[in-house]
Structures are given as structure tokens and as C-alpha cells.
Amino acid sequence: MSIKEQVKEKIPERLQKYPEFGLFLKWIEENKEDIKNTEELKEALEGQINEDQDFLNKESKAQTQGTDTRQIRPTAKEIDLLKKFKKLFLEHL
């Protein structure tokens, strides 16, 4: 059984109606070579959040050449989305 099928089975129907659920499945599809089961899914999501947060912390500091908002802003939005995935869906897996 694929990881997407496992996720669809375990997450309640009411949460599957959220618009974020489709994005969650798309994120799983993009990272499917690293994810074989729900434990690896949790680790991959947490790892991506930590990686993005480290990048954001490094780039947000005052720099002589200034900050690159074009990189910081999308990373911050991605962190928010990944944290929403974690809050909504991972507690059911």
C-alpha cells in the first residue's frame, strides 16, 4: 500500500475536505522517494521544517549587503504551510 493510500485511510473524512489536504498529498508526492511509511513521513516533514527554519534564521540576520526578501518570504510561507500540515494531519497518523 502506498503512503498516499495510508494517509487517506487514517485521516478523517472531514479533514480530507480541507484545501490543505490536496497540498499535503502533493507534498507527499514530491517527496515520495524518501517516504515509505507514516513514521518516515513525520520525520521528513519535521526535517523540512527544521531545514527551512535554519535557512530563515541564517538569512534573517542583519547583513551588510541587506536581506534577500525574495528568498526569505517564500521560505516563511512554506514553514507556515508545513506547520499547518503537522497540526492538522500528523496527529491522525
Q: Which domain holds residue 28?
A: 3-92
Structure confidence at residue 62 (pLDDT): 66
* Secondary structure (DSSP) of 64-88: TT---HHHHHHHHHHHHHHHHHHHH
Provide the number of structural domains found in the chain: 1
Residue 49: what pLDDT?
A: 96
Q: Where are the alpha helices (DSSP H) in the chain?
A: 3-10, 13-16, 19-30, 38-60, 69-88
Task: Measure the CA–CA gap between 24 and 32, rounded to whole angstroms.
Answer: 12
Residue 11 pLDDT class (50, 70, 90 cuts): very high
The answer to whether the CB of 92 falls within 8 A of the CB of 15 is yes
pTM for the model stands at: 0.84
Predicted confidence (pLDDT) per residue in 13-70, tens digit? 999 999 999 999 999 999 888 888 889 999 999 999 999 999 988 887 766 666 677 7
